[in-house]
Amino acid sequence: MRYEQRSNFCKPFWRSTFYLIAWTFLPLTFVLSVPHSGWTQEQSNKKLPCFIATWNFGQAATDKSLESASAGGSILDGVEQGIRIVEADRSNTSVGDGGTPAANGVVQLDACIMNGPGHAAGSVAGIEGIVHPISVARKVMEETKHVLLVGKGAQDFAVKQGFEVGSLLTPNRKAAWEKWKAEQGEKVDLPIGADNHDTIALVGVGNNKAGERVVAGGCSTSGLGYKMPGRVGDSPILGSGLYVDNEVGAAGATGIGENVMRYCSTFFIVEQMRAGKSPEEACVAAIQRVDRLDPLELKDLHINFLAIDKDGNVGAAGTDKGFQYSIARPGVSEVRQSKWVH
Ligand code: GLY
């Protein structure tokens, strides 16, 4: 075969090879070069599902959330299953069974849950005798036309849904409450501080079976120890203790509820992320806003936040130096220090 002939013979082969390589690598180059909230889509997908929760006791919860989602559960299932672990832990004195009672010696629990698709939500406040208020909140969301049930009405609803009622006051918490009560004079002293308000707020992001992105979250607490009976904090209030927006992400709070709920802090954080802030920047912005408006000094606010965006980027910030948060995603289970704002 003469050179010209061989050359003509090779042309279609090289042309096809060129197009094959171009069509394969050009889109990949594009994906890798486009910033996507700090992560490429490809990297982001590898990190999901992702769950974060307040405090180091949240690690058992986020591990459970990831286990549930990895076994085929929804992101919402992961949120509920994770929070149930902490609610059932009697050694935890600020959530669920074994929580610190109100001033009258009765444990009153608050919880809420939100599912991004459909912007669905359910809450219970001041519910007594039920170990898993997060699951009652989910029932409110899924089985009623309402969003928030309180007190006896919430308990009656729970019983109708098959939940058992019992005392949640452990001997340890009873003794501490009796000691506190004996120390009170005319004026009641409410021990407001970093060790008297630990809520679990847990938020997660992942894909459903159809490959659509889902954001969900939940929050559960026994509230401020020795609170006035009937006092409700931020945790069951949407936009205060928890907020989820499937277009953006989710945020959760822990701390003194009164200093969170007057500012709709988690709603504010989600809106800050919508406007382009990273999760950590959005949490810091929420604290700075409270600091500008509130008569209390930063060190006395005890407000701590965490947030996740819909790509799975996470962050947290708090006025309590020791505020930590837990994270679980494929290959990761750890407790992280949050940014301290002071
Ligand atoms: N953040 C819990 C409460 O204040 O009730």
224 lines ligand 1 (CB under 6 A): yes
> Cα 213 to chain center, whole Å?
16
For residue 91, the 8-state DSSP code is: T
Q: What is the model's pLDDT at position 240? A: 98
The pLDDT, as a whole number, for residue 183 is 87
pLDDT digits (tens, 9 = 90+) for 190-244: 666 555 558 999 999 999 999 999 999 999 999 999 999 999 999 999 999 999 9
User: What tokens appear for 291 in the block?
Assistant: 């600091």
pLDDT digits (tens, 9 = 90+) for 177-203: 999 999 887 666 666 655 555 899 999
The SS3 of residue 309 is strand
Cα(258) to centroid of ligand 1, in Å? Answer: 7
The crossing angle, in degrees rounded to 10, of helices 151-160 and 133-143 is 80
Domain 46-340 has CATH 3.60.20.30: yes
pLDDT for residue 12: 54
Provide the CA 257 distance to its chain's centre, in angstroms: 15
Q: Is the distance from the beta carbon of residue 116 to the nearest atom of ligand 1 less than 6 Å?
A: no
In the numeric block, the tokens 């992400």 are attached to 249
221 lines ligand 1 (CB under 6 A): yes
Closest residue by Cα to atom 4, ligand 1, is: 257
**Cα 263 to middle of ligand 1, angstroms:** 14
DSSP state of 100: P
Best residue for ligand 1 mutational test, from 86, 92, 107, 197 (most atoms within 8 Å of Cβ): 197
Which of the listed residues 198, 199, 262, 301 should we mutate to test ligand 1's pocket, taking the one with most ligand atoms within 8 A of CB?
Answer: 199
Helix (H) or strand (E) holding 93: none
Predicted confidence at residue 17, as pLDDT, reads 54
- Return the pLDDT at 198: 83
Looking up tokens 């994906």, which residue turns up? 31
**How far apart, in whole angstroms, are the C-alpha atoms of residue 236 and residue 243?**
10
pTM of the model as a whole: 0.86
Length of the chain: 342
DSSP string over 184-225: --SS-----STTS---EEEEEEEE-TTS-EEEEEEEEE--ST
> What pLDDT score does 42 carry?
39
End-to-end CA distance of the chain: 82
- Determine if ligand 1 sits within 6 Å of the CB of residue 255: yes
List residues with catalytic annotation. Answer: 199
Backbone angles phi, psi at 228, to 5 degrees: -65, 135
Determine if ligand 1 sits within 6 Å of the CB of residue 44: no
CA atoms 317, 319, 320, 322: torsion sign? positive
Residue type, 22: A
Q: How far is the CA of 182 from the centre of ligand 1 (A)?
A: 24
Distance, CA 15 to ligand 1 centroid (Å)?
67
According to the model, what pLDDT value does residue 185 have? 74
Burial of 186 (0-12, 13-18, 19+ CB in 10 A): exposed
User: Using CA atoms in the order 113, 82, 322, 318, what is the torsion angle rounded to 10 degrees?
Assistant: -20
In the predicted model, residues of the chain with pLDDT beneath 70 are: 1-46, 186-197
DSSP label at residue 117: G
